[in-house]
């Protein structure tokens, strides 16, 4: 760690990336904490003219611990566009329009992210406007009620997709206590009740929209010192909070679970097999091993994919997802089956593949191919400032530092076939399994 910039002495600044070790995140960056707990990560790049800001708030549907309030983190993402006294929503929109910015937000299980991409000369305007709404958001009850209808509209536009319904049922079936029981959209009954929850919304803002929950990521045609000065100016006075949610712990699952969705319109049957896995870690091998395993066993180069999709052509989509979540979550395998009669066969093939992963070490050469794939996959995405900020946001949401990426890839670099087998044995177990199927009208279950 060699400091490259002279930074003001009132804060601790750490600079990474200047040494010669082979890092997968190739950009030098600065990471700084303001006295109020706000963290700033600045990544100057040589992509011209454009700057992306991604503001990560570590609250998502995971934080929705009170009954009847699922979907609130996501509703809040909407409310943040409802304006302040200084910038009522119309003025905020007009200002963003005038600078030609692309601005939006998204919410996940674990975090909410507000992102804006714009020309470099507008950095101060953006940081000032963003600070204003994070500190001074003010919306009246009628506007609140109208915005809840836009959230219902979002649920409606999603509702034509069977995948969304499957996610709802998988999470509801696999979890009992933890808030991952509901999706980020929330339960429909809670969305329909949102118009009546104005007072709760104010409480939600007061709890989580605080500097200690927030990291500002600035990537692009910028200088770290100038960014820090602007952040001090506009965000320095933001008051720290003191709320700590008690997220319920999920009890250990001790029997396999199953559920089924009858989908009202014609579709191909979908089979999902999920397993309970630990929350994200980069200090142990678990997350890295499961990530590699998802590619080894279920990507297009895997034996199973080649058999079911390419040779037998019984399945038209096969994929696995190893999500990086804060708390213990689900490793998911999904197959879309061409004929309902093949559902049981495909399920047995997936279970057999999982058993093989537990029983035998994987081929070392294939593990090397996966490692190469993951490194190049990342490198190919570092082609513009907005995408770099977007990738960083997902890691910063977990550990509040870009170093997270390098730590994970360091674990990947050290994996052996025995590690993969160990992770499969430990986590891809029958008792931790949830199978959910979905079929359209007229299909046998």
Partner 1 sequence: MKLAIALVLTAASAIAQMRVMALPSKSQLVTFRIVFLAGSAADPPNEPGAAYLTAMMLARAGTKDLTYRQVVDALFPMAASVSAQIDKEMVTFSGVTHTDNLESYYKLLRAMLLEPGWRADDFQRVKDDAINALRVNLRANNDEELGKEALEQNIFQGTPYEHYSGGTVSALEKLTLEDVERFYRQQYNQANLILGVAGGYSPAFLERVKEDFRGLPPGKGFRPRSNAPAPITRNRALIVDKDTRSVAFSIGYPTPVTRANPDYTALLVASSYLGQHRSSNGRLYQRMREARGLNYGDYAYIEYFPRGMFQFEPSPNLGRQYEAFQIWIRPVEPPTAHFALRLALYELDKLYREGIPEDGFEHTRDFLSKYVNILTSTKSAELGYAIDSLYYGIPPYNQYLKTHLAKLTRDDVNHAIKRYLRPDRLVIVAVTKNGEDLKKQLLSDAPSSMSYNSPKPGDLVEEDKTVEKFPVHLAADDVRIVPVDQVFE
State the nearest-atom distance from the C-beta of 233 to partner 1, in Å. 24
Query: CA 159 to CA 167: how far, in whole Å?
Result: 12
To the nearest whole angstrom, how small is the minimum distance from the Cβ of residue 111 to partner 1? 20
d(CA 196, CA 443): 40
CB of 14 to partner 1, least distance (A): 26
Residue entry with tokens 């700590």? 244
Min CB(175)–partner 1 separation in Å: 25
The smaller minimum CB distance to partner 1, of residues 62 and 314, is found at 314
Residue 313 CA to residue 402 CA, distance in Å, equals 42
**How far is the CA of 324 from the CAs of 14, 227, 312, 377, in angstroms?**
25, 29, 32, 17
> Token pair 């399994």 is at which residue?
433
Nearer to partner 1, 51 or 357 (CB): 51
Least distance (Å) from partner 1 to the CB of residue 7? 29
Residues 343-353 as b or e (16 or more Cβ within 10 Å = b):
beebbebbbeb
Whose Cβ is closer to partner 1: residue 211's or residue 269's? 269
Whole-number minimum distance, CB 431 to partner 1, in Å?
33
Task: Compare residues 387 and 422 and give the one whose CB is closer to partner 1.
Answer: 387
Beta-bridge partner residues of 337: 315
Nearer to partner 1, 338 or 407 (CB): 338
Question: Which one, 33 or 143, has the nearer CB to partner 1?
Answer: 143
Instruction: Report, in Å, the least distance between residue 144 CB and partner 1.
Output: 8
State phi, psi for 50 to the nearest 5 degrees: -95, 145
**360 versus 372: smaller Cβ distance to partner 1:** 372
| Rg of the chain (C-alpha set) | 23
Distance, C-alpha 293 to centroid of its chain: 20
Cβ nearer to partner 1, comparing 249 with 339: 339
DSSP string over 206-218: HHHSSGGGEEEEE
How far apart CA 181 and CA 303 sit, in angstroms, is 32
Q: Is the dihedral of CA 217, 60, 165, 253 positive or negative?
A: positive
Per residue, what are the HEC states of 402-436? CHHHHHHHHHHHHCCHHHHHHHHHHHCCCCCEEEE
- The nearest distance, CB 417 to partner 1, in angstroms, is 17
């Amino acid at each position: 760690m060699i400091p490259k910039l002279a930074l003001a002495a009132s804060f601790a600044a750490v600079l990474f990336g200047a040494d010669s070790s082979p890092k997968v995140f190739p950009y030098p960056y600065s990471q700084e904490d303001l006295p109020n707990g706000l963290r700033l990560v600045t990544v100057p790049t040589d992509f011209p003219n454009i700057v992306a800001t991604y503001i990560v708030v570590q609250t998502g549907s995971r934080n929705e611990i009170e009954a009847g309030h699922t979907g609130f983190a996501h509703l809040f993402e909407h409310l943040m566009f409802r304006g302040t006294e200084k910038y009522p929503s119309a003025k905020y929109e007009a200002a963003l329009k005038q600078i030609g910015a692309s601005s939006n937000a998204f919410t996940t299980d674990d975090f909410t992210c507000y992102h804006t991409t714009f020309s470099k000369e507008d950095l101060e305007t953006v940081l000032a406007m963003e600070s204003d709404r994070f500190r001074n958001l003010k919306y009246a009850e009628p506007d609140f009620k109208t915005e809840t209808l836009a959230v219902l509209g979002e649920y409606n536009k999603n509702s034509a997709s069977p995948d969304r319904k499957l996610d709802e049922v998988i999470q509801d079936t696999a979890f009992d206590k933890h808030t991952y029981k509901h999706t980020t959209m929330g339960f429909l009954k809670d969305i329909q009740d949102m118009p009546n929850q104005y007072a709760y919304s104010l409480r939600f803002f007061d709890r989580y929209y605080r500097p200690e929950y927030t990291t500002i990521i600035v990537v692009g045609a910028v200088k770290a010192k100038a960014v820090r000065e602007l952040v001090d100016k506009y965000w320095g006075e933001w008051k720290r909070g003191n709320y700590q949610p008690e997220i319920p712990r999920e009890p250990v699952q001790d029997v396999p679970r199953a559920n089924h969705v009858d989908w009202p319109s014609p579709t191909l049957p979908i089979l999902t097999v999920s397993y309970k896995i630990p929350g994200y870690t980069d200090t142990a091998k678990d997350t890295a091993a499961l990530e590699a395993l998802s590619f080894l066993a279920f990507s297009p180069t895997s034996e199973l994919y080649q058999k079911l999709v390419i040779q037998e052509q019984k399945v038209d989509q096969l994929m696995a997802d190893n999500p990086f979540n804060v708390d213990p979550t689900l490793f998911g395998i999904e197959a879309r089956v061409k004929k309902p009669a093949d559902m049981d066969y495909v399920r047995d093939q997936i279970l057999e593949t999982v058993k093989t992963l537990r029983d035998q070490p994987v081929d070392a050469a294939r593990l090397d191919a996966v490692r190469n794939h993951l490194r190049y996959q990342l490198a190919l995405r570092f082609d513009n400032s907005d995408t770099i900020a977007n990738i960083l946001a997902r890691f910063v949401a977990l550990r509040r530092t870009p170093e997270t990426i390098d730590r994970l890839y360091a674990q990947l670099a050290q994996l052996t076939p025995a590690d993969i087998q160990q992770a499969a044995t430990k986590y891809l177990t029958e008792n931790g399994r949830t199978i959910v199927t979905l079929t359209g009208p007229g299909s046998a279950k």
